[in-house]
Structure 1
Amino acid sequence: MTFRLHMEQAVLRALADFPRELASEIYAVTFRIDSVDQDPRFPYLAIGYTTETEAARALAQGGGSEPWEARWHYAHFPPSGLEGIRVAGHDPVHDPVGADLHRREAMARGLWYEDDGDADGDDEGGGEGAESGLSEQEQDERGEQLTEQFSELCVDLARRLHTDGRLLSTFGRPLPVILYDMFDPEAMFATTRAANPPELVTEFLSEDPEGQPLA
Structure 2
Amino acid sequence: MAFQEHIERAADEVVAAFPVDSGIYAVTFRIDSVDQDPRFPYLAIGYTTEADAATAQHTASDAWEARWSYAYFPKTGLDGVKTVGRDQDGAELHRLEAESRGLWYEDDDEPDDRDGMLVEWFYEVCVAAARHLHDSGRIVQTLGRPVPVILYDMFDPDAMFRLTSQANPAELITEFLTEDPDQTPQRP
* TM-score scaled by length of structure 1: 0.83
Question: Structure 2 residue aligned with 1:76, among 72, 84, 94?
Answer: 72
What corresponds to 2:3 in structure 1?
3
The higher relative CO (CA closer than 8 Å, separation ≥ 6) is in: 2
Q: How far apart, in 1, do the equivalents of 2:52 and 2:136 lie? A: 28
Number of aligned residues: 187
Q: How far apart, in 1, do the equivalents of 2:8 and 2:105 lie? A: 26
Q: How far apart, in 1, do the equivalents of 2:14 and 2:55 lie? A: 24
Supply the RMSD in Å over aligned alpha carbons: 1.4
SS of 1:150's partner is helix
Alignment of 1:29-108 (within 5 A): 29-60=27-58, 62=59, 64-89=60-85, 91=86, 95-108=87-100
- How far is 1:154 from its partner? 0.6
Matched to 1:102, the amino acid is H
What corresponds to 2:145 in structure 1?
173
C-alpha change, 1:5 and 1:213, in structure 2 (3 Å) is: closer
- How far is 1:213 from its partner? 5.8
- How far is 1:211 from its partner? 3.1
Q: How far apart, in 1, do the equivalents of 2:14 and 2:183 lie? A: 32
Q: Percent identity?
A: 60
Report whether the alignment pairs 1:17 with 2:17.
Answer: yes
Q: How far apart, in 1, do the equivalents of 2:126 and 2:136 lie? A: 15
SS of 2:57's partner is helix
* Per-residue deviation, residues 106-159 of structure 1 (Å, max 9, x unmatched): 11222111012xxxxxxxxxxxxxxxxx33xxx041111111011011111111
Q: How far apart, in 2, do the equivalents of 1:98 and 1:50 lie? A: 25
* Per-residue deviation, residues 19-66 of structure 1 (Å, max 9, x unmatched): 2352xx100000011111000101111100000001000102x2x521
**Paired residues of 2:33 and 2:41 also in contact (CA < 8 A):** yes
What corresponds to 2:106 in structure 1?
114
Question: Structure 2 residue aligned with 1:194, among 144, 150, 166?
Answer: 166
Matched to 1:156, the amino acid is A
Report whether the alignment pairs 1:158 with 2:107.
Answer: no
Tell which deviates more after alignment, 46-55 or 107-116. 107-116
C-alpha change, 1:213 and 1:200, in structure 2 (3 Å) is: closer
What corresponds to 2:182 in structure 1?
210
Q: How far apart, in 2, do the equivalents of 1:15 and 1:212 lie? A: 27
Q: How far apart, in 1, do the equivalents of 2:185 and 2:10 lie? A: 32
Q: How far apart, in 2, do the equivalents of 1:140 and 1:193 lie? A: 29
* Per-residue deviation, residues 74-113 of structure 1 (Å, max 9, x unmatched): 0000000000011111x2xxx1110011111111222111
* TM-score scaled by length of structure 2: 0.95
